Chain A
Amino acid sequence: MYRYDEFDHTFVTQRVEQFREQVARRISGELSEDEFKPLRLMNGLYLQLHAYMLRVAVPYGTLSARQLRQLAYIARRYDRGYGHFTTRQNIQFNWPTLSDTPDILADLAAVEMHAIQTSGNCIRNTTADATAGVAADEVADSRIYCEIIRQWSTLHPEFSFLPRKFKIAVTGSGRDRAVTAAHDIGLRMQRDADGNPGFEVLVGGGQGRTPVLAAKIRDFLPEGDLLSYLEAILRVYNQLGRRDNIYKARIKILVRETGAAEFARLVEAEWAHIRNGELRLPADELERIRGYFAPPLYQALDDACPELAAQRAGNRGFDAWVQSNVEAHKRPGYAIATISLKPHGGIPGDASAEQMEVVAGLADRYGFGEIRVTYKQNLLLPDLRKGDLFAVWKALGETGLATANSHRLSDIIACPGLDYCNLANARSIPIAQVISARFADLEREREIGNVTVNISGCINACAHHHVANIGILGVDKKGKEFYQVTLGGAADENAAIGDIVGPAFDEDRIAGAVETVVDVYLAERRGADEAFIDTYRRIGLKPFKEKLYAAH
Chain B
Amino acid sequence: MPLIKNGAPLQDPWFAVTGDEQLDRDGPLLVPLEIWQAHRDRLAGRVGPVGVRLASHQSPALVADDLDRLDLVALEFPKFTDGRAYSYARLLRERHSFGGEIRAVGHILRDQFAFLLRCGFDAIEVDERAAAGWQSATTAFSAWYQPATDDAASIPARRRYAVPARSTAAVIRSEPVTPRQPSPAEVAVCAATWAY
Contact = CB atoms under 8 A, between A and B. Distances in A.
Interface of A: 3-8, 10-11, 14-15, 17-18, 21-22, 30, 35, 38-39, 121, 151-162, 227, 235, 238-239, 243, 273, 277-279, 285, 288, 291-292, 294
Interface stretch (B16-24, B32-40, B44-52, B159-167): B159-167
B174 interface: no
Interface string B89-133: 010000100000000000001011011101100000000010000
A156 B166 CA distance: 25
Contacts of A17: 140
A176 to B, nearest CB: 28
Contacts of A6: 162, 165
Given A3-B166, A151-B145, A161-B80, A238 B87 contact: yes
Interface string B74-85: 000000111110
A103 to B, nearest CB: 18
Contact of A235 (B87, B141, B155, B166): B87
A243 B82 contact: yes
B83 A162 contact: yes
18 contacts: A3-B165, A4-B165, A5-B162, A6-B165, A7-B162, A11-B145, A38-B81, A152-B145, A155-B115, A155-B141, A155-B144, A157-B86, A157-B119, A158-B90, A158-B148, A161-B86, A238-B84, A292-B166
B38 to A, nearest CB: 25
Nearest to A6: B165
A361 B37 CA distance: 69
Contacts of B119: 157-158
Given A160-B83, A160-B115, A239-B84, A155 B59 contact: no
Nearest to B158: A7
Contact of B88 (A121, A155, A239): A239
A39 B155 CA distance: 23
B145 A161 contact: no
A272 to B, nearest CB: 11
Contacts of A18: 140-141
Nearest to B137: A18
Counting chain B CB atoms within 10 Å of each CB, which of A5, A152, A279 scores highest? A5
Contacts of B140: 14, 17-18
B142 interface: yes
Nearest to B86: A158
A30 B110 CA distance: 13
Contacts of B111: 22, 38-39
Nearest to A162: B83
B83 A159 contact: yes
Interface of B: 56, 59, 80-84, 86-88, 90, 95, 109, 111-112, 114-116, 118-119, 129, 136, 140-148, 154-159, 162, 164-168
A7 to B, nearest CB: 5
Given A6-B162, A121-B81, A155 B168 contact: no
Given A38-B109, A157-B116, A159-B83, 11 more contacts: A5-B159, A8-B155, A14-B141, A152-B146, A155-B115, A157-B115, A157-B118, A158-B90, A158-B119, A235-B90, A239-B87
Nearest to A160: B115
A154 B81 contact: no
B133 to A, nearest CB: 9
Contacts of B142: 10, 14
A5 B143 CA distance: 13
A35 B109 CA distance: 8
A168 B140 CA distance: 27
A5 B164 contact: yes
A216 B118 CA distance: 32
A239 B82 CA distance: 10
Given A5-B165, A6-B162, A238-B87, A157 B148 contact: yes
A35 B162 CA distance: 39
A225 B148 CA distance: 17
Nearest to A39: B111
Contacts of B80: 38, 161
B45 to A, nearest CB: 31
A11 B81 contact: no
B93 to A, nearest CB: 12
A277 B114 CA distance: 22
B193 to A, nearest CB: 23
Closest 4 CB pairs of A and B: A161-B83, A5-B165, A157-B118, A157-B115
Nearest to A294: B168
Contacts of B145: 11, 151-152, 154-156
B148 A273 contact: no
Nearest to A22: B111
Contacts of B136: 21
B166 A5 contact: yes
A238 B83 contact: yes
A288 B160 CA distance: 11
Contacts of A291: 167-168
Nearest to B88: A239
Contacts of A30: 129
A288 B164 contact: yes
Contacts of B87: 158, 235, 238-239
A268 to B, nearest CB: 16
B161 to A, nearest CB: 11
Contacts of A161: 80-83, 86, 112
Nearest to B129: A30
B173 to A, nearest CB: 10
Contacts of A151: 145-146, 155-156
